[in-house]
Amino acid sequence: MSGFETISIEILDNVGIITLNRPKALNAINTQMVEEIGCALDAWTASSLAAVILTGEGKAFAAGADISQMSTFSATEAQQFALSGQRTLRKLEHFPAPTIAAVNGFALGGGCELAMCCDIILSGPKAKFGQPEVNLGVIPGFGGTQRLVRRVGRQAALELMMTGRMVRAEEAVSLGLALRIEEDVLTGAKALAAEIAKKGPVAIRLVKEVVDTTDRMDTDAGLAVEASAFGLCFATNDQTEGMTAFLEKRSANFTGQ
């Protein structure tokens, strides 16, 4: 897989890394970048990656969607751009392995929406988050109206989206938008991915699947899904190895089977 122009990709110690790579434009998201992120995720979906990290090249994670491209859109073209972005972000949101956003600098508009599709958001000390679309006379189009509410609650989300206000790293953590601040956010994301990679791969994927599947279920329905997935673990080699290793007081050698 090669030939990408707006992103770069690599696999390091079984962790996939996607780097948004339009630094001169502060990694503004255009149609091509949306397509290339989707292609990278499609190529990795059936892999055994332990995790995927998403980050940005240079001073920004992604400063938003590319306004120079959007400014000439018709209403129909704008809707199609939103739908295309939503499809790609759903691929990221439902990627089978854990996903980590390593936010360095601005994560605004589409950049914030992209980060929110990851399971965990780590913030650099100078990161700034926001949905400033109202400053341009539009609303979020890549899922911000849905995911920001689920991340920070209705009241805080409405305030952020209606004022277009940016929040610094400390406030993002206090709101629950980011998990924590890392001095070197990419190094922190790699360390987190490495820690996850030590655990049982089947269990890690089932944790994500159950949480995603039951997100809007009532508690009883969610518990039934959890119990079923818990039972499935006991048909895996990973469960046998994990419990045997615990009893033998040694590290487990998981195979993902």
Distances (CA, A) of 29 to 24, 92, 135, 200: 12, 15, 18, 35
User: Which residues form the catalytic set?
Assistant: 113, 133
Which residues does residue 7 pair with via DSSP β-bridges, in sequence order? 20
The pLDDT of residue 149: 97
What's the predicted TM-score (pTM) here?
0.94
Q: Residue 63's Cα: distance from chain center in Å?
A: 16
The CATH number that domain 201-247 falls under is 1.10.12.10
Q: Provide the pLDDT for residue 256.
A: 87
CA separation for the pair 170, 173 (Å, rounded)? 5
Res 2: pLDDT: 61
Q: Confirm whether 7-197 and 201-247 share one CATH topology.
A: no
Domain ranges of the chain: 7-197, 201-247
Superfamily of domain 7-197: 2-enoyl-CoA Hydratase; Chain A, domain 1 (3.90.226.10)
Ranges of residues in the chain with a pLDDT under 70 are 1-2
Alpha carbons 20 and 8: distance in angstroms, whole number: 7
Given this model, what pLDDT does residue 3 score? Answer: 83
